Amino acid sequence: MQSNAQGRLEVGVDTGGTFTDVVYRRSDGSSGWCKLLSTPDDPGRAVLDALARLFDGTPPDRLGYGTTIATNAMLQRQGARTALVTTAGFEDLLEIGRQARPELYRLEPRREQPLLAGNMSFGLAERSAADGKALLRPDKAALDQLASKLRRARVESIAVCLLHSHVNPAHEKAVGEALRHLGVPVTLSQQLSPEPGEYERASTAVANAFVRPRVERHLKDLALKCGTPDFRVMQSSGGCLGVKTVSREPVRSMLSGPAGGVAAAFEVMRAVHLEQAVTLDMGGTSTDVTLINGTIPLTNTTVIGGIPLRCPAVDIHTVGAGGGSIASVDAGGALKVGPASAGATPGPACYGQGSEPTVTDANALLGRLAGGGLLGGEMPVDLARARRVMTRLGKRMGGLSAERAAEGVLRIVEANMERAIRRITIERGQDPRGATLLGFGGAAGLHACAVADSLQMASVLLPCNPGLLSAGGVLEGSFSRDLRAALSLQDPDIGELRQRCLALEKQARAELLQQGCQPGRIRLSRSVGLRYLGQSSEIEVPLKPGFRAAFDREHHRLFHHHDDSRPVEACALHVTATEARRRKRRTVATVGRSRTPTPAHNVSVYLEGRKRRLPLYRRDDLVMGDRFAGPALVTEYSSTSLIATGWTARVDGESNLRLEKDGG
Amino acid sequence: MAERFDPVELELFSNRLVAVAEEMGTVLCQAGFSPNIKERRDFSCAIFDAAGGMVSHAAHIPVHLGSTPLSVKAAIEAMTADSGDVIAGDIMLLNDPYSGGTHLPDLTVVAPVFLAGHDKSSRAGRARRPFAWLAARAHHADVGGHAPGSMALCTDIHQEGFRIPPVHLYRGGRVVRETMELFLANTRVPAERMGDLDAQVAALRSGDQRLSELATRFGPGRITRAMKELQDYSRRLVEAMIKELPVGEFSARDSLDNDGIDPQPLRLSVTLRRRGKRLEIDLRDCAPQCRGPLNANLAVTTSAVFYVVACLAGSRVPANRGMMEPVDILTTPGTLVDCRFPAAVAGGNVETSQRIVDLLLRALARALPGRIPAASSGTMNNLTLGGWDVKRDCHFAYYETVAGGAGAGPSGPGCHALHTHMTNTLNTPVELLESYYPLRVIRYGLRRRSGGTGKHRGGDGIDREIEVLVPATLTLLADRRQEGPWGLAGGKPGLPGRDTVSSGGRTKAIASKTELQLAAGDRVRVQTPGGGGWGRVGRKVAGKKKRG
């Protein structure tokens, strides 16, 4: 489809809390971007504005969309009037949860506000046993009665979660059939998450039902207005799906934005043949970290705003440490940074409104923002204000100077990030030292060297335009479909498991074909969840010859012991169908020539306990092959980076800044 | 003496040390075999300084807080008693409430940490002092005794299960087969026990590795100092809390329904005294130890006090020895809160500990009016079902604690169906429970309107009914069946709990502490207490009041 004069037009859109980013590429090689303030009341408006501005009404041939609409609807409790249908006797499933409280030492424990209104849970007389046998089939009278109750309750969306439906889906399906005539969307729990654990499955189904009408309206409306034939939405797993599927299963797109970032980081890695990296995505209120080891890591359970969701999502670990994190000294005399954040309003003190010292204020005071402020100077920095709040903090720290206090704040926030990375590497038996730290998001460049140093990581990669990386990831997004099934097989052989995968493979393939994938481009991968018989947590390993030994090795790596004579149980199958994209053959430009660039000017920065003059480079002035030693600052439109002492920077063939530890 | 850490170093090192204990917990949870560990997370991990003083305790189960230090102390004493040799790779195992334990199902493993670099200096063969100690405790679903689950109605510790004083489980890195086999021969579900013990050992190994890495990275001296600093930090936080208490004496009383053997209620009473920077908790006037299994040893009592102190000082105070330094606990040996051998103790840990918390909060409500919530359910509603699983051809022992209503407080209503105070275990999902055990859950819901009325309503308890599919022994250990959890500031009490068994179409109430043989098809129903209400209801609402 070559509808545009300059060739095929592909667009990536990422809507965030503050900005909506749009990047595009044409088949003639041209590309560009646009950054607009988001329009939270109607997120589509900013997208359409940007498209109109960039392309003057010509619809893109393909549009990838990263969206926070599902997450926001859930977190702000602005979803549909939702009902849960469950086995009679278990109507309070969601209110009981797992019985545990989130904070141990709190006189008055609190729980998250549930998505369901109090009287919107409906019991149905039906029951299956743990092995799937039907003990009581739902009869027609009961189903009719249920339907009329739901109609009277004027529900807008329905979730169905019946006990043991992951082994006996028939009852949920019967409910779905019986409620179809109500004309509201019905979400069946076993279709989203065919796994045991009634609370998590119900929670996932209810979250899906809750956001479903809103997401569906939004996506259909936007896709129509864009006029794009190929409109795809980034899912939490880092792969895309079409409007129809995402509208039906919006819960799979709850982490759409962060997943786009990780997918983009993965593309950056592929382009430069990097196998292993830790991504560090630092924003205003939090930092996301992920370990990429040859593939994007997925998890099957995420918790968002206290609500557990069972669906494949990029395995992201989040800490409450960002540019807006507030610093304070507690009654015992320790310096705390975050998780409270000054957010966008009032924001850090140096932006003119806030009055609490934040991480950004510490960076500003120490001269690390290079005086220019954010977004190429569009947001000026009030240094005097930053100094006032830091001086006050220093006094509470036993009379430290504002600079020392600011340095302390940065050390704490960097330690919080270090801890987050240790969680996803060392605590899972992975050594981070061989990995590259890949920093993006507005503020990662200021902290990447320090974090890498604390983990003895010898290389750092800072891509160009780190603030637009997520949109770029969405632009590159391929279709992918994850399907799972629960089972229980003792010491299975590979043939048996492969046989059981066939149905999942067929379904996943069919769905990708429906999206418009070419049959020859569909790649399948299979994995199996195993555990020692009697154990209750599983480890997922690729389903290929030797999978049993791979499980023992993995168990040993994680838990320091294994037993290859112990019987194992296969409890889950996982099939992923992915669209293999045609990639332009990349030759990483070998850097033939090395040049020492000239700094734009020198700036005064407080570093390692004293004031120093540092060269400042403009990212736009740097070209492939440039090489310079730290300490130095690099500024660009949406970000500033600090090359620390002991690090050397060079610009690679993809315009990435590659930092190497000297002598490393 | 080196100078005090600055606020930055303090925060950095306290996080590092707390992270070690947390990671041990992650490993234990993931490697655990039994639902009780994996699903319910009934375990705790902690690190200790060279002298056995607690440094950090991962926030798992509060009832383990004050008691793990005594386990470590007992282990150290046992190891150094005869030969005095403590070597790398040693692991001690214990559960005896009269030497470092709490109640028998809680198995604690304790290990010394030696630093690799130090080994060379001690080639002479003389035992060195360990750099630090680690402990991992887990509640095992069965440790023998006369009923499955080892939470039975006994009158003597010997009936309750297999007693393990501190003994070597590993010696120099090798498992001591005799210990392992002796223990496994005395539990009904040995394979599961072995898997869970392996997981506990894995937790110790990961703690050892992380602590050694910290010592290598920052130097052992610095870590030792950080441990001390962290304890001082907690002490300062608690002292700051004590300073907010008014000077004076504040007393309160509460009681347990009965001990399951004798019918009379068991009295508990406390007087709190603030003396300068110190807080005295005088429990000397509690009832003498009872015949039934509701006795708490000093370790359990200390845990309850620990918990209340941690709540008052704010959730961020690292739990360690320093936290308890400004607090004095006074008890009379031979009482409910400081029992002597051979009293039965299974329920002291789970029931009496909850009541001690209620008691302390009641006294604190006098000292800090407007800050303290009404009583929560005040019982863990311990339900054990065990017997022979015909289908799987093996013993089974299912243990679960059922949540209740949380007390309402000055800032709002109490939560429904929540584990409060001394426990925070998760439930076993119905779908997993039914696939592990020959049991079927008939209902699992809120016990509506069981929370006490008031300006803020107490949370509702739970209504849970289970059918046994094979003949089984039922053990119930619960309380607050006679009087509901108290309200505060004019709020009304929550409904007391209620328990019934249905057999052949007939339903009859059972006592709160019961041991009973059930036939296949019988059902047990537990309705847990609601939380107390807080504040007087407005006049209009008061007219609709349902109960007094």
B54 is a domain residue: yes
User: Residue B70 contacts by C-beta under 8 Å, 6 or more apart in sequence?
Assistant: B100, B298, B299, B302
In a shared domain, residues A539 and A609: no
B491 is a domain residue: yes
User: Residue A62 contacts by C-beta under 8 Å, 6 or more apart in sequence?
Assistant: A8, A9, A10, A11, A228, A229, A230, A231, A232
A619 is a domain residue: yes
pLDDT digits (tens, 9 = 90+) for B142-198: 999 988 888 889 999 999 999 999 999 999 999 999 999 999 999 998 988 999 999
Q: Is the pLDDT of residue B126 over 70?
A: no
Give B534's DSSP letter: B
Burial of A565 (0-12, 13-18, 19+ CB in 10 A): exposed
Which residue among B8, B409, B418 sits closest to A408, beta carbon to beta carbon?
B8
Which of B211, B236, B261 is where one domain is finished?
B236
ipTM of this predicted structure = 0.90
Report the mean per-residue pLDDT for chain B.
91
Which of A448, A475, A502 is where one domain is finished?
A475
Of the candidates A627, A659, A662, A660, the one whose C-alpha atom is nearest the C-alpha of residue A646 is A662
Cis peptide before A519 (omega within 30 of 0): no
* CA atoms of A226 and A522, how far apart (whole Å): 27
**Do residues A633 and A605 touch, judged by C-beta distance below 8 A?**
yes
**CB distance B312–A197 less than 8 Å?**
no
Helix, strand or coil, per DSSP, at residue B418: strand
**CB distance A333–B7 less than 8 Å?**
yes
**Do residues A636 and A627 touch, judged by C-beta distance below 8 A?**
no
**CB distance A559–B419 less than 8 Å?**
no
Q: What pLDDT was estimated at residue A589?
A: 53
Alpha-carbon gap: A559 to the closest alpha carbon of chain B (Å): 6
Residues of A in Cβ contact (< 8 Å) with B357: none
Side-chain-side CA neighbours of A479 within 13 Å: the count stands at: 27
Of the candidates B99, B95, B98, B96, the one whose C-alpha atom is nearest the C-alpha of residue B78 is B99
SS (H, E, C) B233-245: HHHHHHHHHHHCC
In a shared domain, residues A442 and A311: yes
Strand partners, A158: A83, A186
**Do residues B516 and B473 touch, judged by C-beta distance below 8 A?**
yes
Which of B187, B204, B236 is where one domain is finished?
B236
Q: What pLDDT was estimated at residue B121?
A: 43
**Do residues B414 and B376 touch, judged by C-beta distance below 8 A?**
yes
A454 is a domain residue: yes
**CB distance B236–A329 less than 8 Å?**
no
Of the candidates A325, A277, A272, the one whose C-alpha atom is nearest the C-alpha of residue A439 is A277
Element (H, E) at B23: helix B7-31
Q: Is the pLDDT of residue B53 over 60?
A: yes
* CA atoms of A632 and A616, how far apart (whole Å): 6
**Do residues B268 and B304 touch, judged by C-beta distance below 8 A?**
no
Of the candidates B143, B136, B140, B131, the one whose C-alpha atom is nearest the C-alpha of residue B196 is B140
Phi, psi of A122 (to 5 degrees): -120, 125
SS (H, E, C) A514-535: HHCCCHHHEEEEEEEEEEECCC
**CB distance A96–B39 less than 8 Å?**
no
B490 is a domain residue: yes
In a shared domain, residues A503 and A449: no
Residues of A in Cβ contact (< 8 Å) with B41: 100
In a shared domain, residues A465 and A522: no
Q: How confident is the model at residue B120 (pLDDT cuts 50, 70, 90)?
A: very low
In a shared domain, residues A315 and A444: yes
| β-pairing verdict for A62-66 and A9-15 | parallel
Q: What pLDDT was estimated at residue B543?
A: 41
Q: Report how many domains make up chain B.
A: 2
Query: For the residues B291-299, what does the mean pLDDT come to?
Result: 96
Domain that holds residue B393: 373-548
In a shared domain, residues A510 and A627: no
The sheet with strand B278-282 has its strands ordered as: B248-256, B266-275, B278-282, B327-330
Instruction: At A420, list the tokens.
Output: 């987050």
Alpha-carbon gap: B82 to the closest alpha carbon of chain A (Å): 31
Residues of B in Cβ contact (< 8 Å) with A390: none
In a shared domain, residues A432 and A498: no
Q: What pLDDT was estimated at residue A107?
A: 92
B141 is a domain residue: yes
The sheet with strand A647-651 has its strands ordered as: A317-319, A287-293, A276-282, A436-440, A459-462, A657-661, A647-651, A627-629
Q: What pLDDT was estimated at residue A332?
A: 86
Which residue among B240, B307, B441 sits closest to A331, beta carbon to beta carbon?
B240
CATH code at position A546: 3.30.1490
**CB distance B233–A400 less than 8 Å?**
no
Query: For the residues B505-520, what does the mean pLDDT come to?
Result: 96
Q: Is the pLDDT of residue B3 over 50?
A: yes
User: Residue A638 contacts by C-beta under 8 Å, 6 or more apart in sequence?
Assistant: A35, A374, A375, A442, A465, A466, A467, A468
Phi, psi of A375 (to 5 degrees): 50, 55
* CA atoms of B9 and A71, how far apart (whole Å): 37
Q: What pLDDT was estimated at residue A1?
A: 41
* CA atoms of A380 and A368, how far apart (whole Å): 14
Q: How confident is the model at residue B456 (pLDDT cuts 50, 70, 90)?
A: very high
In a shared domain, residues A84 and A184: yes
**CB distance B442–A89 less than 8 Å?**
yes
Query: For the residues B222-247, what does the mean pLDDT come to?
Result: 94
In a shared domain, residues A464 and A544: no
B482 is a domain residue: yes
Residue A442's alpha-carbon distances to A465, A564, A597, A634, in angstroms, are 9, 48, 24, 13
Which residue among B402, B431, B444 sits closest to A89, beta carbon to beta carbon?
B444
User: Residue A120 contacts by C-beta under 8 Å, 6 or more apart in sequence?
Assistant: A81, A82, A83, A84, A153, A155
Q: B181-189 long-range CB contacts below 8 Å, 24 or more apart? A: B183/B93, B186/B143, B186/B144, B186/B161, B186/B162, B187/B140, B187/B142, B187/B143, B187/B144, B187/B162, B188/B142, B188/B144, B188/B148, B188/B386, B188/B395, B188/B397, B189/B34, B189/B141, B189/B142, B189/B394, B189/B395, B189/B396, B189/B397
Residue A297's alpha-carbon distances to A201, A238, A294, B175, in angstroms, are 22, 10, 9, 36
| β-pairing verdict for B513-518 and B472-477 | antiparallel
In a shared domain, residues A502 and A462: no
N-terminal to C-terminal alpha carbon distance within chain B: 61
Alpha-carbon gap: A312 to the closest alpha carbon of chain B (Å): 20
Of the candidates A633, A605, A615, the one whose C-alpha atom is nearest the C-alpha of residue A445 is A633
Q: What's the one-letter identity of residue B419?
A: H
Q: Which has the minimum average pLDDT: A555-564, B237-246, B447-456, B522-531?
A: A555-564
Instruction: At A169, list the tokens.
Output: 């889906």
Q: Report how many domains make up chain A.
A: 4
In a shared domain, residues A652 and A520: no
Give A120's DSSP letter: -
pLDDT-flagged residues of chain A (< 50): 1-3
Which of B236, B270, B300 is where one domain is finished?
B236
* CA atoms of A161 and A201, how far apart (whole Å): 7
pTM comes to: 0.91
In a shared domain, residues A140 and A102: yes
Counting residues of chain B whose pLDDT is more than 70, the rounded percentage is: 95
A467 is a domain residue: yes
* CA atoms of A643 and A647, how far apart (whole Å): 6
A462 is a domain residue: yes
Q: What pLDDT was estimated at residue B51?
A: 94
* CA atoms of B215 and A51, how far apart (whole Å): 56
Helix, strand or coil, per DSSP, at residue A161: strand
Q: What pLDDT was estimated at residue A515?
A: 84
Q: What pLDDT was estimated at residue B148?
A: 86
Which of A424, A457, A475 is where one domain is finished?
A475
Residue among A535, A554, A561, A571 with most chain B CBs within 10 A, to mutate: A535
pLDDT digits (tens, 9 = 90+) for B343-354: 999 999 999 999
Instruction: Please state the length of chain A.
Output: 664
Q: Is the pLDDT of residue B94 over 70?
A: yes
Most confident of A65-74, A548-557, B428-437, B465-474: B465-474
Domain that holds residue A440: 257-321+414-475
Residues of A in Cβ contact (< 8 Å) with B38: 535-537
Q: What pLDDT was estimated at residue B541?
A: 46
Nearest CA in chain A to B311: A105
Q: What's the one-letter identity of residue A134?
A: A
Which of A456, A475, A494 is where one domain is finished?
A475
Phi, psi of A22 (to 5 degrees): -130, 130
Which residue among A330, A412, A535 sits closest to B33, beta carbon to beta carbon?
A535
B41 is a domain residue: yes
Instruction: Please state the length of chain B.
Output: 548
Ramachandran category for residue B145: left, alpha or beta (phi over 0 → left; psi -120 to 50 → alpha): left
B265 is a domain residue: no
